[in-house]
Copies of this chain bind each other. A is one copy, B any other.
Amino acid sequence: MNQRFEVQVVRPGLHDITERVAEVVRASGVTDGLCTVFVQHTSASVVITEGADPAVRKDLEAWSERIAPEGDGLYEHEEEGPDDMPSHIRAAMVGSSVAVPVMEGRLALGTWQGIFLWEHRRFRSTRKIVVHVG
């Protein structure tokens, strides 16, 4: 089954959605399977990373700004602002989905793993997530 939910985003960076995904898994009643989390946008990613120390998310964001910087003369696609093409690049690099096994009715995440919506753009928006549990 697929379940959609929305995330209100006010700034770039990683937003923890682990609990919302876990809720969908619980509601699905699936005990042994696979959960896939998909973002329906080309300027945001879904990623799994360390969820305990907020500095990890800050460092990931800083690194992404260095690896695909704004306004460095490389991009032709600039109509939608200087942060648009870097956002598409970061989204393509990180990916639009993650998959996590479901065991004993729960997401089989490792101790330090969390699931995050990674917003790459610098404006307020509503991002749509689709969770598949099968």
A interface residues, Cβ below 8 angstroms from B: 1-2, 32-34, 36, 38-42, 47-50, 53, 55-56, 58-60, 62-63, 66-68, 74-77, 85, 88-89, 91-103, 108-113, 128, 130, 132, 134
Contacts and interface: CB of A to CB of B under 8 A. Distances in A.
Contact of A56 (B32, B33, B77, B101): B77
Given A38-B108, A101-B132, A113-B40, A95 B96 contact: no
Copies of chain A in the complex: 3
B32 A42 contact: no
A108 B67 CA distance: 30
A80 to B, nearest CB: 9
Interface of A is mostly: mixed
Contacts of A36: 34, 99, 101
B2 A101 contact: yes
Given A95-B95, A134-B134, A55 B76 contact: yes
